Structure 1
Amino acid sequence: MVLTRTTNHTYSHPFPTVTLAFFLRYYSPQLNPFSSHVLSTDTISSHVDPITGRLHTTRIHLKKSRMPSAVVKLLPTSVTGGGGDKSSYVLETSVVDMKEGWMKTESRNLNYTGVLSVVEEQHYSRSPPDGPAFDPTAYSNATALAVARPRSPNTFVTTTFSYRSSLGSKRHDRTHVDLTETQDETGPRRLGSWISGWGASRIQRSIEAIASNKTDDQIMKSRDGMGMVLERLRNNGVVSVLRELRRREGKAVFDQ
């Protein structure tokens, strides 16, 4: 079972500024106080497709994470590790097309996926989601695209969260322990009996619902953080903001 939630939002900033803010949102807590939970960000790969001109980027974020207290109470300690503050990796991929005016991103957790897998997909665009359907492959040149999608001072984003719990499901992944195999009472056998008693489907639905209910707070903090970055860029200018961040970190300012 997969539980999904979709929301729409409008930033009163042009598309190029919003895409820049997206990549800067975890740069520093001084720029975005809502990013203090991000311990580090590393770029794995980044390249521009010579044919399409699209920027493809893959990054990995290390974040402080706290499993929802309701989940901690629902599951045994052998699954949750006792709750509390932990850290987890989030893989982020993005594709930006500046000419056509859209960006697609995907973020997914790499830890605790046996308990809950969360995928966040976002589509940024110059036109509202309820406008004419946009298919990048349907246009052969920039002129046709400009007629179909006039530029807007705003940027529109559609965000979809997908939640999937596989706890108790039989997996073919050999790296996962078979919960039905016979072991001591503190290991997989005990966990398997507990899951059988509750029912795997019931547990999975409960975990997905708990995570989904916390989405509103997460979305608001994310939007507030992006909003602060965007206002800094609007009021001070891109070069000034980046130079100030570099100065605070004791790094050499950008060259020309």
Structure 2
Amino acid sequence: MKTTLIALFTLIAIAGCKTSPTGRTQIALYSDSEMNSMGVQSFKQLKEQKLINSDTNVNRYVQCVADNVISVLPKKYANQQWEVILFEDDSANAFALPGGKIGIHTGLLKIATNQNQLATVLGHEIGHVIAEHSNERASQGNLLQYGMQATNAVLQTQNVKYQVEIMSALGMGAQYGVVLPFSRTHETEADNVGLDLMAKAGFNPKESVTLWQNMSKAGNGATPEFLSTHPAPTSRISELRARMPAVMKLKNAATQSGLKPNCKF
């Protein structure tokens, strides 16, 4: 039974293997159309549930920043019809969903205080979409669930003692040993992709460091990194600074080619 289950999961993994924009091997079991459909449906529900900001100037500003970032996306994504919605929400947050959907909370504009800092966040969130992190997380969740069910079935078949305790320990191990580290990997990967995107669009990547300093001062990211799905701000800033020489070359090249975003409100 165990041999059959191992073979089954191996075949599933091989069938769903992809390579992320940074060269990392990932599992993606869902098709683009399936992910796009889920993203569109989720966004529709959010628009029905949350209050949408109607300030023309602010909406024009966030749309301007988003448009500049979208303009340098790979053709597959740049050709999508992106929808950008500003939600009335005090939390400093934004997100992008498969299917060309971007949500921005008004509270983010108190932390991301200029176009470059906002571009940092939007580049990061769109980076999640480009790297198919939603697909990977959904696929990972399914495989973990099936794996836990299969392990439980084996324990019951073999009449193993302390089944409940073993399954509890396996669940905690999966959470801290697989799920959270993968989330931190996703966040770092999205940072790298997003940094490239904002630089290619002509935004100043140096402001990404200021953004996370602002986030840290505002109290975000206070959870210990070991138990957090996001890297600690200090780790994030160190990674960003390490990549700064390379992305500044992208920014300078964009400026020389005429890409000079000028988004204000």
Same fold, TM exceeding 0.5?
A: no
Question: Which structure would you say has the larger RCO, counting Cα contacts within 8 Å and 6 or more residues apart?
Answer: 1
Q: Which structure is higher in strand share?
A: 1
Q: Which structure is higher in helix share?
A: 2
Higher Cα Rg, which structure:
1
TM-score (norm 1): 0.30
TM-score (norm 2): 0.29
